[in-house]
Chains A and B, each alone.
Chain A
Amino acid sequence: MARPDRPLTDGRLAIWRHPLPVRLTHWINVLCVVVLLMTGLQILRAHPHLYWGLASDFDDPWLSFPVIPGWMTLPSWRDLAAGRNWHFFFAWIFVINGLIYLTYALISGRVRRLMEPSREELRDIPQSVVQHARLRFPEGEAARTYNVIQKLTYLVVLFLLLPLMLATGLAMSPGMNAVLPELLELFGGRQSARTLHFLAAMGLVAFTVVHVLLVFLSGPINTLQAMVTGWYVIRTEPEDATDDPA
């Protein structure tokens, strides 16, 4: 599945980063997450209060939203029925797409190869944080793999946040509660599940904001091109460059 590096005429190197299944599922996931977020806010708008525990203590929500603006919701006008219909349609695509991605990423070894941090990397986390904060992005051989913060972030999103969205969503279903009451208990009741569904969604929003920001700061053309064509361009190391006429 891996393809050999392709030297470019300007002396840089195109490396094979994202195979087709990854690119396809990535963009389908982008669509799903956007629609799920906007329809989710539409659903939240029907009762914009969050609680912890089994039931709603209407006098004591831990969080209330005075206004949820229309531009954040799908559709923009108040329509809980449409919001729910669109939410569940895209939830199905999100789940099927997610399963395809995870199956591929685990079987192909992508998770282990790209995301499993080594012991040394885990030890060097503070240094990596500093590098990140200074917006220093590796461009040479080091750009071939993800850095430790990227690895850990992707692991948290893939194996914690996204599955948590599904699990907390299912825990809110009175039908599923009959067959999987353990899930409801795990989250501490339906209103806790609803709160966690919201918090996990906000976690995904935070991830997406940083993710998109870093895409733009680290060279939007290259990173976007990689997620469209599969090829990511890196600078060659100086020792390679010596026998390069350019």
Chain B
Amino acid sequence: MIRPDRRLLILGGAAFLSGCDALVRNPQATCTVKKAEGLTRGAQRAVIPRTALAPEYTEREISKNFRANGSIDPADREYRALRANGFRDYRLVVDGLVERPLSLSLADLKRRPSRTQITKHDCVEGWTSIGKWKGARLSAILDEAGLKPNAKYIMFYCFDALDQTEDGERYYTSIDLVDAFHAQTLLAYEMNGRPLPIKHGAPIRLRAERQLGYKMAKYIKRIEAVESFAHIGKGKGGYWEDRGYEWYAGI
């Protein structure tokens, strides 16, 4: 037998919970709540110096089982062919708002200024793994291509579709020039001293160490400098960003 006051409490609780759900479904409420992202981004950009480095760790601290998330085996036909040939025919395209569009082989990338770093990888889901990365500095590649003055964002287009199908929507994401020119931002081709494994994004993946994992695109096919990403995908700057996740993933 439920006493009336307890029934009232249960009813009140249920009303509160369904009210919360209704608010989350409400586009206007979502729009208001998403404004916090701009505040977070502004506050973090204000307190974090442009050059501040993400913490680096020792060899001993490298994770034995670094989790591979998202795509782990792209179904893309072109990717499969490149992979079968050990990525010898792979070319990274750098274009968009640049003075000199580039087409770089893996060997070309390995000849560019590089950096090696042991950093933590923070997934939006909440887990952390630590890995050692070696890659070409994105800043050097962008300097080589020469950004036009109106370039504001760097887009990364990938071979993989998260549903692991041939026709699935391809992964993509973007970062701004603050992160693009950061010393630890790499086009990584080595992980833990070996060629980047397929499940971690071979032949190259992005490392942007002051952001969450979903910004660090794997299986990168093309890099494009743009002024705005409003016309790309659903206009939010990335695959997950189009699905409600923050564009600024510094927290």
Contact = CB atoms under 8 A, between A and B. Distances in A.
Interface residues of B, number: 49
A74 B24 contact: yes
B55 interface: yes
A43 B250 contact: no
A47 B20 contact: no
A191 B53 contact: no
Interface stretch (B123-131, B162-170, B190-198): B123-131
A244 to B, nearest CB: 35
A181 interface: yes
A173 B65 contact: no
Contacts of B250: 173-176
Interface stretch (B37-45, B84-92, B136-144): B37-45
Interface stretch (A76-84, A109-117, A202-210): A76-84
Contacts of A75: 20-21, 24-25
Given A89-B36, A173-B251, A56 B129 contact: yes
A54 B57 contact: yes
B211 A84 contact: no
Contact of A47 (B52, B127, B130, B249): B127
B35 interface: yes
Nearest to A44: B126
Contact of A175 (B24, B32, B57, B210): B210
Interface string A19-60: 000000000000000010010000110110101001111110
Contacts of A35: 20
Interface in B112-131: 120, 122-130
A59 B240 CA distance: 28
Contacts of A47: 123, 125-127
B8 interface: no
Contacts of B35: 89
A176 B251 contact: yes
Contacts of A79: 24, 244
Contact of B24 (A57, A58, A86): A86
A172 B122 CA distance: 8
Interface string A68-99: 00010011110111101110110110000000
Contacts of A172: 122, 251
A38 to B, nearest CB: 7
Given A88-B40, A89-B36, A174 B57 contact: no
A47 B23 CA distance: 25
Contacts of A17: none
B95 interface: no
Contacts of A43: 126
B68 to A, nearest CB: 12
Nearest to B20: A74
A74 B20 CA distance: 7
21 contacts: A46-B124, A46-B125, A47-B123, A49-B127, A55-B63, A55-B129, A56-B129, A58-B67, A85-B34, A85-B37, A85-B244, A86-B33, A89-B36, A92-B36, A170-B251, A172-B122, A174-B209, A174-B250, A176-B48, A177-B55, A178-B52
Interface of A: 35, 38, 43-44, 46-47, 49, 51, 54-59, 71, 74-77, 79-82, 84-86, 88-89, 91-92, 170, 172-179, 181, 184, 189-191, 194
